[in-house]
């Protein structure tokens, strides 16, 4: 079953017909909230709000291990995350969307692996291609079916947050090859890989990253709110097409 992890602004899917919710316990603690089960245009999906349904859990305190474990144990076979990001590359202005194909990880201090504690033999998972190419393809096809333009590819840099970056930090990310920046891409993607769950991200650009475009001097928060609202409506349409298979 397709599972959707909703990020900032996406604490629910408006067209989701909820059948039930389930609070799941995991060996890694509590997920961000109960898993919502339902149908999207008739297709069964499950949904989890990454920051909690009241948006109270900051990116560095999300229990990524519990979230993915809970979704898998409830029958998820593929995971699509919706994540708001700041745009670094000039094509990725506010209101655009992307399906990234690479990741950079600048986070620290997060519980980022299932292989600890000495109970399980360590597996060094292959992470050359961090996202599932198959699922990326399905997301891009769903976007085309929904007549939504989506940028194919790009490097998603994950910062620690919850503060936004300095201009110099964004300059560095750009030199490193980053096209967009968010706070939740890791360790979500690598944990999904560790438990063999195909994973892809629909990144919604809600602002120019620090020092770029209209964020040249500061981040305009009013624009972020408006962009989140407008663009997530379009992101939801893509997720609906994905759920029904194109």
**CB 204, min distance to ligand HPA, A:** 9
Question: Which residue number is nearest to ligand HPA in terms of Cβ?
Answer: 86
Compare residues 85 and 135 and give the one whose CB is closer to ligand HPA: 85
The 3-class SS string of the chain reads CEEEEECCCCCCCCCEEEEEEECCCECCECCCCCEEEEEECCEEEEEEECCCCCCCCCHHHCCHHHHHHHHHHCCCCEEEEEEEEEECCCCCCCCCEEECCEEEECCCCCCCCCCCCCCCCCCCCCCCCCCCHHHHHHHHHHHHHCCCCCEECCEEEECCCCCCCCHHHHHHHHHHCCCEEECCHHHHHHHHHHCCCCEEEEEEEEEECCCCHHHCCCCCHHHHHHHHHHHHHHHHHHHHHHHHCC
Compare residues 113 and 223 and give the one whose CB is closer to ligand HPA: 223
211 touches ligand HPA by CB under 6 A? no
Compare residues 81 and 159 and give the one whose CB is closer to ligand HPA: 159
Q: Which of 45, 139, 181, 235 binds ligand HPA (CB under 6 A)?
A: 181
Compare residues 31 and 86 and give the one whose CB is closer to ligand HPA: 86
Compare residues 2 and 155 and give the one whose CB is closer to ligand HPA: 155
Place of tokens 């190419």: 133
**CB 89, min distance to ligand HPA, A:** 13
96 touches ligand HPA by CB under 6 A? no
159 touches ligand HPA by CB under 6 A? yes
Q: Which of residues 75-94 bind ligand HPA (CB under 6 A)?
A: 84-86
Q: Which of 207, 212, 238, 242 binds ligand HPA (CB under 6 A)?
A: 207
Positions that interact with ligand HPA (CB under 6 A)? 84-86, 159, 164-165, 181-183, 206-207, 209
């Amino acid at each position: 079953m397709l599972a959707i992890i909703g990020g900032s602004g996406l604490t629910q899917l408006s067209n989701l017909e909820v059948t039930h919710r389930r609070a799941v316990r995991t060996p890694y603690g509590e997920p961000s909230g109960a898993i919502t089960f339902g149908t999207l245009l008739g297709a069964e999906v499950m949904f989890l709000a990454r920051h909690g349904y009241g948006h109270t859990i900051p990116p560095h305190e999300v229990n990524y291990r519990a979230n993915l474990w809970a979704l898998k144990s409830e029958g998820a076979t593929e995971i699509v995350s919706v994540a708001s990001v700041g745009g670094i590359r000039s094509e990725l202005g506010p209101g655009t969307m992307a399906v990234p194909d690479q990741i950079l990880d600048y986070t620290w201090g997060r519980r980022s692996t299932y292989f600890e504690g000495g109970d399980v033999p360590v597996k060094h998972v292959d992470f050359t291609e961090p996202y599932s190419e198959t699922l990326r393809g399905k997301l891009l096809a769903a976007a085309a079916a929904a007549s939504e333009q989506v940028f194919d590819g790009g490097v998603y840099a994950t910062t620690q947050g919850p503060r936004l970056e300095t201009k110099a930090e964004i300059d560095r990310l750009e030199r490193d090859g980053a096209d967009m920046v968010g706070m939740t891409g890791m360790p979500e993607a690598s944990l999904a890989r560790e438990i063999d769950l195909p994973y892809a991200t629909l990144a919604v650009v809600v602002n120019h990253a620090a020092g770029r475009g209209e964020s040249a001097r500061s981040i305009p928060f009013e624009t972020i709110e408006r962009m989140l609202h407008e663009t997530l409506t379009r992101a939801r349409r893509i997720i609906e097409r994905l759920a029904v298979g194109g």
